[in-house]
Structure 1
């Protein structure tokens, strides 16, 4: 039987639900099938409920939460 691999983005990133483990990682933020942004996780809640993407140039730091449906691919 063929090995089933999890889906990945074009950059090779996989869906991650363990947000607390993503601090310092580059992630793609997705919502309802659309890529919202790519950035570095600055801080994440221990319960995986929310995380902050670090500011980048003129773009301020941004908060994302799982309950709204955001997905992190890393």
Structure 2
């Protein structure tokens, strides 16, 4: 869940868990992140792999869930 918004700010700077919006996806391999799309959290998981140009990343499989690919051009946001 996103933290509180400050006056004049469209989105909060951090989630309630203390995560911040990140654009440097290539630096997040091995980190637990939240993936968001249009204000909705899609998944929380560990980044298994990311493209060097920050364009896409893979969230590792978890139990019965397969690993998932997300790309910035589609509008996904990553909070870490």
TM over 0.5: yes
Structure 1 stretches of at least 4 aligned residues deviating more than 6 Å after TM superposition:
none
User: Which runs of 5 or more structure 2 residues have no equivalent in the other structure?
Assistant: 1-11
Quick one: higher RCO (CA 8 Å, sep 6+), 1 or 2? 1
Flag structure 1 segments of 5+ consecutive residues without an equivalent. 1-5
Aligned-residue CA RMSD (Å): 0.8
**1:12 to partner: Cα distance:** 0.2
CA distance in 2, matches of 1:37, 1:61: 11
TM-score by length of 1: 0.92
Q: Secondary structure at the match of 2:44?
A: strand
Cα distance in 2 for residues equivalent to 1:7 and 1:65: 21
Aligned pair count reads: 69
TM norm structure 2? 0.85
